[in-house]
């Protein structure tokens, strides 16, 4: 047996798994450094460091909510003002040391009621995504590489509605007024539809309440405004109203969310093995 | 054959299930909790070319389906899916079915089901378009209603599932077999192209006939972007053999098999990989000539284009179809074929999708062109159009399909 080779193999395995072993649980100011190690190297000047600091603060404030459930009413408005709506139950579970998992179950239009989509977000690679189609009772693995594609015909793309993992962007403070920091975010992941986001972060609570999305050519594509904020458990800020305006096609999508229920979701719903059950049995 | 009160094709069975559900409903408080969704619609099949002077050009039927369910205290869940079809042309296509009627009980990681169920184990695209069975071995196809075989008949079973985070084991016990409902000789969905009548009740290789129990098991892992499953089914094969009784009549013969197989769904960057494969071992029988053992496989890839800021999704797929029954009396036309095409999804408010594909035989000149378009109209209506065209030159098995070009239109109102 090649002992030297085996030792080398084992040590490389332990090296690779070290960041995983080193941490399990929620991040805090004291243990986030390892997670931010690579990101810190991309933030060298003062404005970049300040941008990262603001978003790290926002990220840490939002650790520990465990799970949440809300009903999302989505109103699609086309350039002529025609409206159509769809309703989705959205459940999200916070994962230790890995990005969150999201389950969406359609309630309307009636023709697609019971269709469910499960997404395991990945920091940089393609998300893992499954779709349950009630008409044929099949759970299909679907391709989630196309992050810039529309989410069910709305002006939100996949990358807009997925949860915000800190390591997906680089940050830079570009200006600062009495109420807000204006921070530019640049996507690090492949296949984004954007060259950058310009975000407004409220100084009182570190929440982002406006985002401008710039397309690959650098032109303003969309503006998202987040209002009707609620504070849960005295810690977790959540907006109940999202308004996305597309400046290039003049379409608009409004999301209205019900009250969020925190710590209410059963972790066993978040597996593709159980997707059919989760979809047909909305408890 | 003597009628059996628990035969799923008999009205008595239907009535019994309805009574059970009414009983459960009466023991709960709010009736509005039950109705989940449903549809009523018109489903028309039109065959532009004549095949046999006995046979008509198609049919039109009124279809309806409802889905009712209720949950009790997080442990019990009941679901009922009645379906009805009323045909303008043929009485044999009139059908009332309970597609699903199941009671579910959850206790920790243990999940129990009893009732009429539909199980779908397939992963590939080809089986959505053609009546080929590799992994979907449990439920009988509703050939009368849908010549593509997409519609299935529910099957009574008792199931136990152990739920895990990344693995799941399902065990199923099925006390009865559900026979294929055969279309009338005048109907274009008829198997033998109107050349023979098919006797309604089938015969079986086992003396217990349709009451011989079947068993099925499936074990599935999900590892990262991969879903891998192993399955086994022991019982009557859903596709009968057709044996001649005389010059005019065929009889359906159902024989026992052990089917073991594997399914896979996987994604790597913009590629999806899907496959299913099965090995079928027929139980020996001295009275009938049966296919001994055979294996079948369908597998392929799908590529989705990355199109920044485009609303519509566009992807291409190709699947290889293999079956070891490529010669002899039991040979199948789908033994060495490619199914390839595209899928376009508008991603618009009307959810319009278009799927186009060609199944090409790699040995003979035989192509089946398939096109499906569907969209919602407003919030409450939907339209689904399928066109199929056969280009058959020298495939002796497929030649019976050469005039079977089909236009299928479904218009639905969602309840």
- CATH classification of the domain holding A69: 2.50.20.10
For residue B118, the model assigns a pLDDT of 95
pLDDT tens digits, one per residue of A171-217:
999 999 999 999 999 999 877 889 999 999 999 999 999 999 999 99
Q: How confident is the model at residue A19 (pLDDT cuts 50, 70, 90)?
A: very low
pLDDT at B8: 52
Residue A156 lies in a domain: yes
**Cβ contact (<8 Å) for A153 and B347?**
yes
pLDDT in tens, B112-168: 999 999 999 999 999 988 888 999 999 998 888 777 767 899 999 999 999 998 999
Q: Give residue-wise pLDDT tens across range A211-230.
A: 999 999 999 999 999 999 99
Mean pLDDT, range B304-320, rounded to an integer: 84
- Whether B96 shows a pLDDT value over 70: the answer reads yes
| Domains of chain B by residue range | 11-414
Percent of chain A with pLDDT over 90: 54
**Inside any domain, residue A197:** yes
Q: How far apart are CA A241 and CA A72, in angstroms?
A: 10
Higher pLDDT, A104 or A24: A104
pLDDT bracket for residue B308 (50, 70, 90): low
Mean pLDDT taken over chain A: 86
Structure confidence at residue B279 (pLDDT): 97
Residue A159 falls inside a structural domain: yes
The minimal CB distance from B37 to the residues A110, A128, A267 is found for: A110
Task: Read off the pLDDT of residues B164-188 as tens digits, 9 standing for 90 and up.
Answer: 989 999 999 999 999 988 888 877 7
Written as six digits, the tokens of B104 are: 């579910």
What is the model's pLDDT at position A118? 92
Structure tokens at B337: 């074929």
- For residue A92, being part of any structural domain is answered with no
What pLDDT is stored for residue B201 in this prediction?
87
The DSSP bridge pattern shows strands B110-117 and B155-163 to be antiparallel
Cβ A128–B267 below 8 Å, yes or no? yes
Q: Among candidates A141, A140, A160, A142, which has minimal Cα distance to A150?
A: A160
Cross-chain Cβ contact B308/A191 below 8 Å? yes
ipTM of the assembly? 0.89
The residue of A121, A141, A274 whose CB has the most chain B CBs within 10 angstroms, and thus the best one to mutate to test that interface, is: A141
**Predicted pLDDT of residue B11:** 58
Q: Mark yes or no for CB contact A271/B165 under 8 Å.
A: yes
Rg (CA), chain A: 20
pLDDT at residue A202 in the model = 97
Which residues of B are less than 8 Å from A84 in CB distance?
349, 379
Q: What is the pLDDT of residues B340-357, one digit of tens each?
A: 999 998 888 788 999 999
- Whether the pLDDT of residue A23 is over 70: the answer is no
A21-25, B19-23, B259-263, B286-290: range with highest mean pLDDT? B259-263
Cα distances from B209 to residues B37, B179, B198, in angstroms, run 37, 11, 18
* Cβ within 8 Å, pair B414-A140: no
Which residue among A143, A216, A277 places its CB closest to the CB of B270? A143
For the segment A237-283, what is each residue's pLDDT rounded down to a tens digit?
999 999 999 999 999 999 999 999 998 888 888 999 989 988 887 64
Which chain A residue's Cα is nearest to B302?
A143
For residue A138, which residues of chain B lie inside 8 Å, CB to CB? 120, 122-123
Mean pLDDT to the nearest integer, B381-391: 95
Q: How far apart are CA B81 and CA B194, in angstroms?
A: 33
A84–B379 CB contact, under 8 Å: yes
pLDDT score, position B91: 79
Beta bridge partners of A63: none
- The predicted model gives B53-58 an average pLDDT of 76
pLDDT value for A88? 94
Interchain CB distance below 8 Å, A126 and B220: no
Kindly identify which residue of chain A lies nearest to residue B305, measuring between CA atoms.
A146
Looking at the 3D structure of chain A, how many domains does it have?
1
Q: Is A254 inside a domain boundary?
A: yes
Identify the residue with better confidence: B227 or A263: B227
List the single residue in B104, B272, B382 with the smallest CB-CB distance to A143.
B272
Whether A16 maps to a domain, the answer reads no
Closest CA to A35 of A19, A24, A49, A51: A19
Q: In this prediction, what percent of chain B has a pLDDT beyond 90? A: 56
3-state secondary structure of B211: helix
H or E stretch at B167: strand B167-174
- Is a pLDDT exceeding 50 seen at residue A132? yes
pLDDT band at A21 (very low <50, low <70, confident <90, very high): very low
Highest average pLDDT, of A158-162, A278-282, B190-194, B261-265, comes from B261-265
B249-254 and B203-204 beta bridge pairing: parallel
pLDDT of A30 above 90: no
Does residue A94 surpass a pLDDT of 70?
A: yes
Contact A137 B412 (CB under 8 A): no
Residue appearing with tokens 């308004």: A243
Provide the 8-state DSSP code for B91. G
> What pLDDT is stored for residue B396 in this prediction?
76
Its domain, for residue A243, covers 61-85+146-260
Contact B380 A110 (CB under 8 A): yes
- pLDDT over 80 at B388, yes or no: yes
As a whole number, the mean pLDDT across chain B is 87
Pick the CATH number of B11-414 from 3.40.50.970, 2.40.160.10, 2.30.30.40, 3.40.50.2300: 2.40.160.10
Cα–Cα dist B182/B190, whole Å: 7
Looking at the complex, report in whole angstroms how far the Cα of residue A45 sits from the nearest Cα belonging to chain B: 31
Mean pLDDT of B303-329: 87
Task: Tell me which chain A residue has its CA closest to the CA of residue B118.
Answer: A137
Question: A271, B310: Cβ pair inside 8 Å?
Answer: no
Q: What is the mean pLDDT of residues B258-273?
A: 94
| Of the listed ranges A151-155, B25-29, B215-219, B322-326, the one predicted with least confidence | B25-29
By DSSP bridging, strand B366-377 and strand B381-392 are antiparallel
Interface test with B, best of A146, A218, A253, A283 (most B CBs within 10 A): A146
In chain A, which residues have their Cβ closer than 8 Å to the Cβ of B305? 146
Q: Which residues of A touch B79 (CB under 8 A)?
A: 280
Q: Closest by alpha carbon to A147, among A122, A170, A130, A171?
A: A122
**HEC readout, chain A:** CCHHHHHHHHHHHHHHHHHHHCCCCCCCCCCCHHHHHHHHHCCCCHHHHHHHHHHHHHHHHCCCCCEEEEEEEEEEECCCCCEEEEEEEEEEECCCCCCCEEEEEEEECHHHCCCEEEEECCCCCCCEEEEEECCCCEEEEECCCCCCCECCCCCCEHHHHCCCCHHHEEEEEEEECCCEEEEEEEECCCCCCEEEEEEEEECCCCCEEEEEEEECCCCEEEEEEEEEEEEECCCEEEEEEEEEEECCCCCEEEEEECCCEECCCCHHHCCHHHHHHHHHCCC
Q: Which residue has the higher pLDDT, B52 or B43?
A: B43
Kindly tell me if the per-residue pLDDT of B92 is higher than 50: yes
Residues of chain B with C-beta less than 8 angstroms from the C-beta of A247:
none
How far apart are the C-alpha atoms of B137 and B133, rounded to whole Å?
A: 7
């Amino acid at each position: 047996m090649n002992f030297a080779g085996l030792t080398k193999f084992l040590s490389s395995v332990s090296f690779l798994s070290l960041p995983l072993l080193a941490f399990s649980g929620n991040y805090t100011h004291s243990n986030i450094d390892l997670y931010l190690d690579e990101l810190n190297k991309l933030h060298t000047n003062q404005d970049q460091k300040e941008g990262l600091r603001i978003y790290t603060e926002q990220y840490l404030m939002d650790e520990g909510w465990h799970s949440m459930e809300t009903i999302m009413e989505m109103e699609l408005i086309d350039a002529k003002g025609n409206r159509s709506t769809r309703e989705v139950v959205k459940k999200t579970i916070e994962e230790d040391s890995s990005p969150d998992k999201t389950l969406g179950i359609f309630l309307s239009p009636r023709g697609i009621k019971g269709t469910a989509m499960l997404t395991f977000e990945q920091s940089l690679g393609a998300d893992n995504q499954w779709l349950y189609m009630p008409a044929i009772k099949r759970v299909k693995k679907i391709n989630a590489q196309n992050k810039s594609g529309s989410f069910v015909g709305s002006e939100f793309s996949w990358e807009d509605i997925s949860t915000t993992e800190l390591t997906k962007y680089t940050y830079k403070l570009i200006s600062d007024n009495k109420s807000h920091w204006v921070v530019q975010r640049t996507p690090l992941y492949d296949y984004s539809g954007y060259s950058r986001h310009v975000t407004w972060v409220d100084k009182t609570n570190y929440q982002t309440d406006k985002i401008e999305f710039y397309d690959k050519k650098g032109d303003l594509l969309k503006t998202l405004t987040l209002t009707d904020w609620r504070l849960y458990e005295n810690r977790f800020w959540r907006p109940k109203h999202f308004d996305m305006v597309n400046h290039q096609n003049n379409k608009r999508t409004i999301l209205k969310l019900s009250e969020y229920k925190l710590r209410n979701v059963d972790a066993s719903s978040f597996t593709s093995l159980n997707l059919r059950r989760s979809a047909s049995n909305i408890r | 054959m003597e009628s059996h009160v628990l035969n799923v094709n008999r009205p008595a069975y239907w009535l019994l299930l309805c009574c059970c559900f009414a009983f459960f409903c009466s023991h709960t408080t709010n009736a509005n909790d039950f109705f989940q969704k449903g549809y009523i619609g018109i489903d028309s099949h039109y065959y532009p070319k004549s095949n046999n002077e006995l046979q008509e050009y198609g049919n039109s039927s009124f279809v309806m389906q409802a889905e009712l369910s209720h949950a009790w205290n997080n442990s019990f869940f009941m679901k009922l899916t009645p379906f009805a079809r009323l045909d303008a042309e043929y009485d044999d296509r009139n059908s009332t079915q309970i597609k699903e009627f199941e009671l579910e009980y959850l206790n920790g990681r243990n999940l129990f089901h009893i009732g009429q169920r539909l199980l779908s184990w397939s992963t590939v695209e080809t089986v959505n378009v053609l009546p080929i069975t590799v992994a979907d071995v449990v439920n009988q196809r509703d050939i009368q209603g849908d010549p593509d075989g997409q519609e299935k008949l529910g099957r009574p079973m008792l199931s136990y599932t152990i739920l895990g985070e990344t693995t799941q084991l399902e065990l199923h016990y099925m006390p009865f077999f559900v026979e294929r409902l055969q279309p009338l000789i005048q109907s274009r969905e008829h198997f033998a192209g109107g050349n023979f009548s098919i006797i309604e009740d089938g015969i079986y290789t086992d003396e217990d006939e349709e009451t011989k129990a079947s068993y099925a098991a499936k074990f599935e892992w999900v590892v990262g972007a991969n879903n891998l499953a192993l399955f086994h089914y022991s019982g009557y094969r859903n596709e009968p053999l057709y044996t001649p009784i005389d010059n005019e009549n065929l009889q359906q013969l159902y024989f026992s098999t052990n089917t073991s197989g594997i399914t896979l769904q996987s994604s790597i960057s913009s590629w999806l990989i899907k496959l299913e494969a099965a090995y079928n071992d027929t139980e020996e029988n001295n009275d009938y000539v049966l296919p001994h053992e055979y294996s079948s496989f369908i597998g392929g890839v799908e590529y989705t284009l990355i199109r920044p800021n485009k609303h519509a999704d566009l992807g291409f797929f190709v699947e290889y179809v293999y079956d070891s029954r490529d010669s002899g009396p039991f040979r199948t036309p789908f033994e060495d074929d490619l199914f390839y095409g595209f899928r376009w999804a508008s991603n618009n408010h009307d959810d319009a999708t278009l799927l186009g594909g060609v199944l090409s035989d790699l040995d003979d000149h035989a192509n089946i062109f398939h096109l499906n378009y569907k969209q919602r109209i407003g919030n409450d209506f939907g339209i689904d159009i399928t066109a199929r065209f056969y280009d058959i030159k020298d495939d002796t098995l497929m030649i019976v399909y050469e005039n079977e070009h089909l236009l299928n239109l479904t218009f639905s109102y969602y309840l």
